[in-house]
Amino acid sequence: MELPSRTAIRDLAGELRLGIADGDLDFYHAAATGLLGSWAVVEELYDDVAPVAPTRDWAEPDGNPLGAWYVTTDLSSGGGGPLAGRRVAVKDNIAVAGVPMMNGSETVRGFVPSTDATVVTRLLDAGATIAGKAVCEDLCFSGASHTAKSGPVRNPWDLGRTTGGSSSGSAALVAAGEVDLALGGDQGGSIRIPAAFCGVVGHKPTFGLVPYTGAFPIEQSIDHLGPIAPTVADAAAMLTVLAGADGADPRQPAGLAGEDYVAGLDHLDRGLRIGVVTEGFGLANSDPGVDAVVRDAIERLTAAGHVAEEVAIPWHRHGAALWDVISVEGATWQMLQGNAYGLNWKGRYDPDQMAFYGERWRRDPAAFSETVKLVALGGTWSLRQGYGAAYGKARNLEHRLAAAYDTPLATYDVLVMPTLPIVASPIPAADASAEEVVTRALEMVANTAPFDVTGHPACSIPAGLSDGLPVGLMVVGRRHDDAGVLRAAHAFEQTLGTLTPPRPTTTHDKELTA
């Protein structure tokens, strides 16, 4: 780091309006340069232990009809394990050492991590093969699949429609059968949204159950990682490998342990009591066909021996507002001003990533997606007006929102509602207006986002089709009862079945290659 001159200290003091007298400038200059000498000591000490990226083979995707691959790999430990033989796609906000990470953004393009994320290490140790990095949305701030700077990710059910985001490539590759499993991330629904739109299973674990270490953060209080898979059993097998404390992520309580989520799937000795959340239906933008598919699915569950009762949770409709404040102010402070990781927490940082991204985004903020620009505008304005007080209020209201779900969950085994109010929408054209780009990116999060705030486990499973497109049913359970959520989702899957996308039509194929 270059040390400041006396003139630089004078100018900085003026910029910060510190009121330093001219006669004191020599002192402050000497004191500041002396203080900043510690930075050089830390640099020298860190250089002795800094990780070095391994040499790993990777390639540009050879044939990528869905636009879902960022790069492909063929990485494995060569050993056995519970996921031996399974090919896994890793969302491209998650570090695979020696393999490029873009996180959907020009501000990250060219960065190569030096260390595997904890979840990647656990997958490799379990015998899985990392098949590549799946495209994700620009800095993961979109619920649709059109903001990645590498291009849109297309839904296997209809190549003109969104896969959902931000784990867009992960869900598309699972739905298309190109991989067996995928890692996703979820801050506002980004595992469950693409799972629902693509007709697969997506499980957002209880907050902190899966270590986030080595994944590009948005806002540490809502960051989640979890599985996207063809079936609930596959998701459970993956979660069994991923869950548990790693000692490097302060989102996780010390001693947190996972369990064998597969072993308990069939241990259901009675019909489940299901709370059907009234406020999850009939949203301002709800597609009546989606609500009807989920209602019909619930009737099929009751016919199969489960008990379903309507339950009113008025606070559910407030959840999206709390999420807006937390995600926008929090992301502005951490992901933008704090260069992704922020400060003031005892987690494992990636200093190289912070420096790379921090310099790149400040060089050209216009490279941000329209959604990130909206976050920057709204978050900067609100922080300047309220100094973070709104964020504090939203965080302090979290317990009210959580209690609104915990109360019925004391009676019911799980809560259910539509994962999303709509089916997959058309991908905006390349020249679409900012209004269309942003609207399409955020129009679907009302039911998913509240559970990123409260941390309840939530799993999206296919409920059926509306107008030939998948509809998701979301199963929500008690915090730290991921086993119960997966057990319920598995039981429901036995009744509702799974979905397989049709082969894209010739028209769509021609459109894609045009």
Q: Which residue has the tokens 């699972």?
A: 174
Q: Which of 145, 168, 190, 327 is catalytic?
A: 190
142, 145, 166, 460: the active-site residue: 166
310 CB-side CA count, 13 A: 7
Residue 118 near residue 248 (C-beta atoms within 8 A): yes
What is the helix (H) or strand (E) element at residue 407, kind and residue range? Answer: helix 389-409
| Helix H or strand E encompassing 203 | strand 201-204
425 is catalytic: no
Cα distance between residue 130 and residue 69, in whole Å:
12
Three-class SS state of 459: strand
Q: Which of 357, 442, 393, 407 minimizes the C-alpha distance to 105?
A: 357
**Bridge-based pairing state of the strands 273-277 and 307-311:** parallel
Question: Is 190 part of the annotated catalytic residue set?
Answer: yes
- Kindly report the backbone phi and psi dihedral angles of residue 20, in degrees, each rounded to the nearest multiple of 5, phi listed first: -85, 125
Residue pair 224/452 in contact (Cβ under 8 Å)? The answer is yes
Neighbours of 60 (CB within 10 A): 10
Dihedral sign for Cα 69, 194, 481, 392, please. positive
Q: 6-15 vs 25-49: helix axis angle to the nearest 10?
A: 100
> Nearest Cα to 186, choosing from 459, 486, 478?
459
Helix and strand totals (H; E) in the chain: 15, 13
Strand 414-418 and strand 181-186: pairing? unpaired
Cβ atoms < 10 Å from Cβ of 358: 17
Q: Which residue in this structure is represented by tokens 């949305």? A: 137
Residue 166, preceding bond cis, omega within 30 degrees?
A: yes
327 classed as catalytic: no
User: Shortest CA distance to 511 belongs to which of 198, 60, 161?
Assistant: 161
Provide the annotated active-site residues: 91, 166, 190
